């Protein structure tokens, strides 16, 4: 009888361990579809396409990815309000996209630098476009899209890096 009790206890413990492992594996697998590849070879600062990505940015990106947050790593991707994007050396959240019904001069985009928490407002330079945006020591253009009559959550931005040549696009997904 004692042997049967030990065997039953061992089986129950093994099943519990298998369930826990399945849950953990499921969480990792479900997130890897959103940000593939999802691993970091070296958590210390390293070079990705000639640009520094700090371990602090990498850690924060991976932390937020665990919670299913929209994180964009490629130039030209649609980034909606409350989603995130990574550029060399910095990591931003889109907090507001305002498109006036009257004049582009009233349009703006607000970005929050995730590591510092500092918000920056960028004013439109023409309809749907904000040029000369300096982030992380580089110059970008922010394209904002979505009708002024549409809800803010239906609008998005696209980041363009003027130093990419021809059809080459900045892609930081290899860093993760």
For 79-138, the pLDDT digits (tens) are: 999 999 998 888 999 999 999 989 999 999 999 999 999 999 999 999 999 999 999 888
Q: Domain limits of the chain?
A: 1-33, 41-175
How confident is the model at residue 151, as a pLDDT? 94
User: Any bridge partners for residue 126, and if so which?
Assistant: 129
Identify each DSSP E strand in 42-173 by its residue range.
46-48, 51-53, 71-72, 79-80, 84-87, 90-98, 108-113, 119-123, 129-135, 138-145, 156-161
Max intra-chain CA distance, the chain: 84
Cα separation, 107 vs 129, in Å, equals 9
Specify whether the CB–CB gap between 73 and 92 falls below 8 A. no
Cα separation, 144 vs 70, in Å, equals 17
Q: Residue 162 to residues 50, 60, 131: CA-CA distances in angstroms?
A: 16, 26, 10
Instruction: Render pLDDT for 149-168 as a digit per residue (tens, 0 to 9).
Output: 999 999 999 999 876 656 66
pTM for the whole thing? 0.68
């Amino acid at each position: 009888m004692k042997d049967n009790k030990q065997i039953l206890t061992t089986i129950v413990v093994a099943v519990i361990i298998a369930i826990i492992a399945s849950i953990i594996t499921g969480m990792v697998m479900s997130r890897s579809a959103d940000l593939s590849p999802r691993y970091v070879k070296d958590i210390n600062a390293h070079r990705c396409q000639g640009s520094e990505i700090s371990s602090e940015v990498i850690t924060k990106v991976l932390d937020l990815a665990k919670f299913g947050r929209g994180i964009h790593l490629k130039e030209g991707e649609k980034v909606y309000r409350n989603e995130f994007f990574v550029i060399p050396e910095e990591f931003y959240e889109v907090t507001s996209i305002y498109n006036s019904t009257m004049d582009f001069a009233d349009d703006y985009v607000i970005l929050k630098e995730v590591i510092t928490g500092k918000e920056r407002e960028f004013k439109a330079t023409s309809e749907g476009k904000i040029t000369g945006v300096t982030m992380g020591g580089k110059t970008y253009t922010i394209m904002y899209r979505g009708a002024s009559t549409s809800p803010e959550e239906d609008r998005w931005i696209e980041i363009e890096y003027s130093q990419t040549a021809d059809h080459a696009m900045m892609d930081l997904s290899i860093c993760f």
